[in-house]
Structure 1
């Protein structure tokens, strides 16, 4: 790759920011401040995918600043969204609040001013842990302060045109009958049951009826109240099919990514922004959803949520940032079992960044260096942090459960992996220990094993199963390799792959003794069948 072809730091984030700048210039818009937005759901337990939307938007903000522009991330919490279903693990008492805006529902745990703020706070907590900087904007405040009143008026005046376009673009005919605005019913405080059917432009009021509606697969009872709501001061919200467009104009948003699951809403909102509000829609990038290891979409209602809070019990913030900044396209299966790979992969990228690992492909070096800088939020350390293989630490953590930190540190010194302990190693031991305590991970990995190596491994298994331990296991392994015409270095490498899923590690003889010879024999047998 020539220098001319490298954009910024050579990552997809730089390419996206560059496209955004080019588009802004072609539109002739002021670029003194380029705002990017991330929508935060507040109705269910936030997971890594929810976090990813904001983290990636922040990456674009950083790239814009690297290009010399001022930028700001707006984290918009949709806490006027109605509660459609009760998330896994939440009390059934919430059923009486179905269809109410989540910011009007009491927090079942009693620690925030509402259910919606409780959910938002979990996501904000995750962003804070990753040191993501943002301006927080609540939907409840946005509507109560009338920040969208001009956009709501324009949309409602053009509601017939919009309803017809929604039917044409996505086949949804609902908004040919009702207005794309839900007032909160003044009698029962429900949102989706109060459907507005008429707009009075000179009074800026909607007329609505509160009746039974189907939300998801449930019928939610309305209270049959008929009333009027003032769009400038009474609580209500625009339908998703038009609300993004209103926000984009009101907050002057120039970039927002979106998930595959809301493609239809984005298509309609782009048209509303361009044709009704006369505001060029933001630059977009579409991303695929995270799936669980069974290939199902990660969902709050299914209870297969991977939260940042739980992830950070086992992995550090950089493992999450690496996951989210590696790439944006393509669906990915995600689970806590990805943490060991990501922890060790970060170290490999760090070694490339500091020149400890040499690669022939200059384009790849540039991209990995750029990725390392974004994972460090464009503030990389001057020198690498101390590090020990996460997989090695999880294996040692299975052996040493009592007085774990000091005993593992002593072993690492004995192996020659470190010279002495330090707070960073202590933290890695803590994380790997948590992981080892919760997950019994012995996944069979694919390793190329020829007939000579297989014979050597079988001979090693025989020795490991003997009652008496060899006087010098390290030397025995060395001799087994030699007698089977396997270069010792290659034999050690295979053993590291089988035991640690890596190509290097501590002195193999003492390490096998610490794990337990019979346990290692079983692990090797599983690998060679």
Structure 2
């Protein structure tokens, strides 16, 4: 693929990352003046454990970043993952240990609260920031991590803070009309940190000297305090803080969830007051749990990153996240198997597609993150994850990887973890998924009279086949049995469902020809015998 062909295809691609990139390209058709990198930012609040909702923002922003680079012929870019760890802890998360420790430190900056996990980290925020960074590194993201506490404490935000102080009244004029009367009484763009308690205070603040950074306020004990707002002795209200960050860092692109729509409007107005420009961006829909409720870091009701990786792969997670970000997605363990198989189907197709189709293929965008030269395009998985799960399901909750590989030898050439590393990873995840979600639900029923006759016919057919009979030949025989009028199936679907429920213990299943070839003909005949005895 030539760079010209890619550029031309990118200009008209309907894939959402390119639609977003074109908005940014209108601002900087050939990159920023002077060769300065275009800055993409993602934000993260470390008040709870990182979840997939956090990860998706970095991934989706990277999709847009790579699309912009393709669109502009390689204009320089940067991605900053920003942690708002100067925020005060408002409530104790449900899914974090040492609740009493956190309760005693409520309203202090997250970066100044001891680590409740007792893992040796400097603070609660440092623990959660480390977890996020470890996963981003594991996936291979190209990013720069920036912590709010470092920027405030080091004085790197001081110039921008002075600009906020200079325009304190103008910011109040923007924010006060959006607040309830009670909130207006205490609202201030600046949140001083109490010199007595270390808490972030929600109190009225008087700007004494904007150039010096001095403010005056009444502390929790009733004393009037005059101190600097610089160098980590204050932070800003959320919407003001967001705008200040855009201004200080020169952010050009940032997407955010629809729950922050109003914040985006107000922060956009504030950044203009400060002398900056609101970034381009996308408002995305939120992830929902299996009950249709919004995923919350404090509740811990969504899948964690590690949970997905216990049952699926990094690539399948990225694939599931890719489609239309303006549509809500359910995020629970039940979506993982199909995401894995769909990912591999799209990956196999990629190498044979024309460039315009490639740009609409989620795997093109994913490999742009993890494999920039896209050497993995066209790779195949010798066994689908769904089929693997069916095999493990028959073997039972106590099945081992060695057992699975012994059966894979019936179906896969050179069946070994060393020869098939991607499959080896999925064997481990299939064992975990079966143990936790499949095995507890399996219940093999007895066959009905007509199903019994059909199963006997299948057993007789298998008895005539060689052990290495191809899956397609087996599948053809399975079809022919289901079509025979004497067995009384209204449709082939009923025949397959009968096999799934009596042989596998599930309402759904694989292509039986593939399963029998994988599991083995003698072993399948044993399953039939068990069902008939039932």
Give the TM bin, normalised by the shorter chain.
0.7 to 0.9
RMSD: 3.7
Q: CA deviation at 1:289?
A: 0.9
Q: CA deviation at 1:97?
A: 0.8
Structure 2 residue 7 is the aligned partner of structure 1 residue 7: no
Separation in structure 1 between the aligned mates of residue 187 and residue 163 of structure 2, nearest angstrom: 16
The superposition leaves residues 22-62 of structure 1 with CA deviations (integer Å, 9 ceiling, x where unpaired) of 12359985553101001111111111001111121222222
- Pair 1:60–1:518, CA change in 2 (3 A): farther
Separation in structure 2 between the aligned mates of residue 399 and residue 378 of structure 1, nearest angstrom: 39
CA contact (8 A) 1:182 1:192 kept: yes
- Trace 1:301-316 onto structure 2 (pairs within 5 A): 301-316=298-313
CA contact (8 A) 1:36 1:73 kept: yes
CA contact (8 A) 1:205 1:229 kept: yes
Question: Of 367, 383, 387, which residue of structure 1 is paired with 2:360?
Answer: 367
Structure 2 residue 109 is the aligned partner of structure 1 residue 101: yes
Classify the secondary structure of the residue corresponding to 1:113.
coil
Classify the secondary structure of the residue corresponding to 2:225.
strand
Structure 2 residue 155 is the aligned partner of structure 1 residue 155: no
- Pair 1:519–1:271, CA change in 2 (3 A): farther
Which is worse superposed, 390-399 or 338-347? 390-399
- Pair 1:464–1:258, CA change in 2 (3 A): same
Q: Which residue of 2 aligns with 1:409?
A: 405
Q: CA deviation at 1:86?
A: 1.4
Q: Which residue of 1 aligns with 2:24?
A: 20
Classify the secondary structure of the residue corresponding to 2:252.
strand
Q: Which residue of 1 aligns with 2:51?
A: 47
Classify the secondary structure of the residue corresponding to 1:255.
coil
- Pair 1:321–1:187, CA change in 2 (3 A): same
Question: Of 127, 146, 149, which residue of structure 1 is paired with 2:155?
Answer: 146
Question: Of 226, 248, 254, which residue of structure 2 is paired with 1:256?
Answer: 254
- Pair 1:515–1:46, CA change in 2 (3 A): farther
Q: CA deviation at 1:164?
A: 2.0
CA contact (8 A) 1:103 1:117 kept: yes
- Trace 1:26-65 onto structure 2 (pairs within 5 A): 32-65=36-69
Q: Which residue of 2 aligns with 1:136?
A: 145
Separation in structure 2 between the aligned mates of residue 300 and residue 391 of structure 1, nearest angstrom: 30
Separation in structure 2 between the aligned mates of residue 406 and residue 102 of structure 1, nearest angstrom: 46
- Trace 1:15-414 onto structure 2 (pairs within 5 A): 15-25=19-29, 32-66=36-70, 67=72, 68-89=74-95, 90-93=97-100, 94-111=102-119, 112-168=121-177, 174=183, 178-193=187-202, 195-211=204-220, 223-274=221-272, 276-355=273-352, 366-368=359-361, 370-371=364-365, 373-374=367-368, 376-382=370-376, 384=379, 386-400=381-395, 404-414=400-410
The number of aligned residues is 491
CA contact (8 A) 1:10 1:370 kept: no
- Pair 1:442–1:406, CA change in 2 (3 A): closer
Q: Which residue of 1 aligns with 2:467?
A: none
Separation in structure 1 between the aligned mates of residue 128 and residue 402 of structure 2, nearest angstrom: 38
Q: CA deviation at 1:155?
A: 1.7
The superposition leaves residues 184-243 of structure 1 with CA deviations (integer Å, 9 ceiling, x where unpaired) of 1110111135553444325321112234xxxxxxxxxxx444312312234221111111
Q: Which runs of 5+ in 1 are unaligned?
A: 212-222, 445-456, 522-529
